[in-house]
Amino acid sequence: MNFTILLEMQKELDEKIESQHGLRKEDLINEKILALLVELGELANETRCFKFWSVKPSAERTVILEEYVDGVHFILSLGLTFGYGNELPPRMAEKKDSLTSQFNQVYSLISVFKNDISEINYAVLVDNYMNLGEMLGFSWEEVEAAYMAKNKVNHQRQQQGY
Ligand SMILES: O=c1ccn([C@H]2C[C@H](O)[C@@H](COP(=O)(O)O)O2)c(=O)[nH]1
């Protein structure tokens, strides 16, 4: 598994967004961290994994996958900002024993990364976000394909003045 193609696609999308809106990626760190936290919340909301007070089922798998790859966009985008993500270390993180705990773990790791933007903290975040994807039942091939589809939509949105 490698990120090379996705990083290249993310770079192209980010550059389009930056030039269209007259921004520099170095100035968008806070926004992208918050965007990632928000996407993670949207993802959790669609799974409904923490809603012990409700009997409604989770959203459809495709909806959950789309939310998941929105998060992948911002993770890659943050990696590109700091030159991280080209060489990911081997998968080492252990999965938590419930989806809710895994979500809380990823939230914590986004904060850890925000407070100390190091390559190791980035790699640990990526590792745990990938574990979250596996716990949601997604293969890497599915994630890649869904990422590519959403990346295309994001380009179209920019062209249409989103
Ligand atoms: O610099 C950016 C800004 C946004 N997005 C993408 C990530 C998500 O797929 C989507 C989020 O857009 P909303 O649907 O939340 O507006 O935009 C990027 O890839 N790079």
Containing structural domain, residue 91: 3-159
pLDDT tens for each residue of 117-156:
999 999 999 999 999 999 999 999 999 999 999 999 999 9
Ligand 1 near 154 CB (within 6 A): yes
In this predicted structure, what is the pLDDT of residue 136?
A: 98
**Phi/psi of residue 57, each to 5°?**
-75, 165
17 CA closest ligand 1 atom index: 1
Residue nearest to atom 16 of ligand 1 (CA): 162
Helix (H/G/I), strand (E/B), else coil: 55 = coil
Q: Which of 75, 90, 79, 67 is nearest to 136 (CA)?
A: 67
Q: Does 162 score more than 90 pLDDT? A: no
For 128, other C-beta atoms within 10 Å of its C-beta total 22
Q: How far apart are alpha carbons 59 and 106 in whole angstroms?
A: 21
For 120, other C-beta atoms within 10 Å of its C-beta total 11
* Mutate which of 9, 13, 31 for ligand 1 pocket (most atoms within 8 A of beta carbon): 13
Q: How close is the Cα of 125 to the center of ligand 1, in Å?
A: 19
pLDDT tens for each residue of 42-87:
999 999 999 999 999 999 999 999 999 999 999 999 999 999 999 8
In this predicted structure, what is the pLDDT of residue 3?
A: 87
**pTM given for the model:** 0.98
- CB-based contact 105:128 (threshold 8 Å): yes
Domain count within the chain = 1
- CB-based contact 3:85 (threshold 8 Å): yes
69 CA closest ligand 1 atom index: 9
Q: Any idea what the CATH number is for the domain that residue 63 is in?
A: 1.10.4010.10
